[in-house]
Chains A and B, each alone.
Chain A
C-alpha cells in the first residue's frame, strides 16, 4: 500500500486522537489564560509582597522543563505522598499551571506597554486601580497580547503530545500506535503532523480576523 493511502486510512483513528488533543488544549488554555491573567494582574498591582511572590512562582514554573514537571507530579508525587490520583487530571493541571506562568508574562508585558498617562488620566478622574484596569488599561492591552497569546496556545497544542507519552492516547500517541502496528511510521506521523498544521493554520486565521475587528478605533 502506498504511503498516501495508508495515511488516508489512518485518518479516522488519528482524528479520534486529535479530539483528545483538542480537549486537553482547551482545558489547559482556559486554565492557563484564567490563572495567568490573575498572576499578570497581581504582578502589576503595585503591591510589593504580591508581585514578589508571584515572580518566584513564574521563575519556578518557567525554570524547569514541562516534561520534568509532568513526571514529577504524575509519578513522583503519588509515591512520595503515598496517594493515588488520576494521572490525566494531574497532567492537565500541571500543564495549565505551567502555561499560566507564560501567559502571566504576556499579560504583564501587555499591561506595561500601555502608556503610563492612561493610568494617570483614569486615576485623576477618581477611578480606583481596578476600575482603571478594567475600563482603560485592559481593553487596550488585549489587542497587544493577542499575537503572543496565540503563540502560547499553539505551543501548548503541540506540547500536549507530552501527555500522550505518560497518560493518554492523544494525537501523537495514536500515530505512534498506528506506526508500531503497521510497521510504517512515515504515513502515520505525516498524518498527525498535517492535523497539527491545519489546526494551527485555522487558529492563526481566526486570530488575524479578531485583530482586524479590534482595530476599529485605530
Chain B
C-alpha cells in the first residue's frame, strides 16, 4: 500500500532521513518509534509530500506520488493525516470540519456530506458535538474530530503524526481507543507515537528509528521482548 524506496531528506547540511526503505502492506498497522529528532515525523510528512523529499521514491497503491499539481492532490486525498496539534479549522463547527473535504474535494452533495459527517462523528463518539466549534472541545475531542475529518475522505491509509503527544494524560485513552477500533476494522495505518502500550497491543510491526535510519524492525512480541540492537535496548530502557 505504501512503498518507500531510498528516501533521503536534507535540511541544508542536516540529513534528517538517510535512506529509508519501507513497505506497508494493506491492512497493516506499522508503529514508528524512536527518540525525538530521529526523523519519524519527517518520514511521515514525506509520504504525502508535506515535506519535499530530497531523494527517493514514494509509491501509494502502485502509483508513484507526483511532485505536485492535481496528481499530488489526488494522492493526498487517499491518505488521511492526523496531526499532533489537531489542526482543526477553528472557524468551522465539528461537523463542518468533517464535511469540508467530502464537499469540496469529493464533490459530494450537502446532504450526502452531512450524512457521512454525522456518521463519522458518531463513530468517534461525538455525535452530540456536531455543532460545537473546536475552541469549545477538549483536546481529546478535537483529535477525535480530526480523525473523523481524515476518515471522511474515505482514505486508503491513515498517517498519524504523534496524535496523542499534545494531549493531557487523561485524554490520551479516548483517542487511542478510536485508533484501535480503526485498526480492528482493517485500516492501513502508519503511526508515529511514544505510546508503547498502544504499539505493543495494536501494531503488526514496530519500526525503530534513530538518527535518520531504521535501526530495527519486527513484530511487537519480538521487538519488545528481545531487541537485537544495543541502541534499541537503550531506548526501550528509557521509555518503558
- A144–B213 alpha-carbon span in the complex (Å): 43
| Segment 110-128 of A: residues with Cβ below 8 Å from B | 115, 117-118, 120-128
Residues on the B chain within 8 Å of A125, using CB = 76-77, 100-101, 105, 149-150, 153
Interface pair A123/B76, CB less than 8 Å apart? yes
Interface pair A126/B100, CB less than 8 Å apart? no
| Segment 54-97 of A: residues with Cβ below 8 Å from B | none
The answer to the question of A186 belonging to the interface, with a C-beta cut-off of 8 Å to chain B, is no
Least Cβ–Cβ distance between A166 and chain B, in angstroms = 44
B87-114: CB near A (< 8 Å → 1, else 0) gives 1111111000000110011000000000
Interface pair A135/B104, CB less than 8 Å apart? yes
Residues on the B chain within 8 Å of A124, using CB = 48, 50, 76, 79-81, 150
The answer to the question of A217 belonging to the interface, with a C-beta cut-off of 8 Å to chain B, is yes
Residues on the A chain within 8 Å of B80, using CB = 124
> How many residues on B have C-beta within 8 angstroms of the other chain's C-beta atoms?
31
The answer to the question of B135 belonging to the interface, with a C-beta cut-off of 8 Å to chain A, is yes
B28-39: CB near A (< 8 Å → 1, else 0) gives 000000000000
Interface pair A126/B77, CB less than 8 Å apart? yes
**Which single member of A127, A128, A140 contacts B101 (CB below 8 Å)?**
A127
**Which single member of A118, A126, A131, A218 contacts B89 (CB below 8 Å)?**
A118
- A139–B97 alpha-carbon span in the complex (Å): 14
Interface pair A218/B76, CB less than 8 Å apart? no
Interface pair A121/B87, CB less than 8 Å apart? yes
Residues on the A chain within 8 Å of B3, using CB = none
The answer to the question of A149 belonging to the interface, with a C-beta cut-off of 8 Å to chain B, is no
- A60–B159 alpha-carbon span in the complex (Å): 46
The answer to the question of B85 belonging to the interface, with a C-beta cut-off of 8 Å to chain A, is yes
Nearest neighbor of B92 in chain A, beta-carbon distance: A217
Interface pair B77/A117, CB less than 8 Å apart? no
State the majority secondary structure of interface residues on A.
helix
Least Cβ–Cβ distance between B68 and chain A, in angstroms = 10
Residues on the A chain within 8 Å of B90, using CB = 140, 217-218
Interface pair A140/B91, CB less than 8 Å apart? yes
Least Cβ–Cβ distance between A47 and chain B, in angstroms = 12
B137-171: CB near A (< 8 Å → 1, else 0) gives 00000000010011001000000000000000000
**Which single member of A117, A118, A127 contacts B104 (CB below 8 Å)?**
A127
The answer to the question of A109 belonging to the interface, with a C-beta cut-off of 8 Å to chain B, is no
- A120–B150 alpha-carbon span in the complex (Å): 13
**Which single member of B78, B79, B87, B91 contacts A120 (CB below 8 Å)?**
B87
17 CB < 8 A contacts A-B: A117-B85, A121-B87, A121-B88, A121-B149, A123-B73, A123-B76, A125-B76, A125-B77, A125-B100, A126-B73, A126-B75, A126-B76, A126-B153, A127-B73, A128-B70, A136-B100, A139-B91
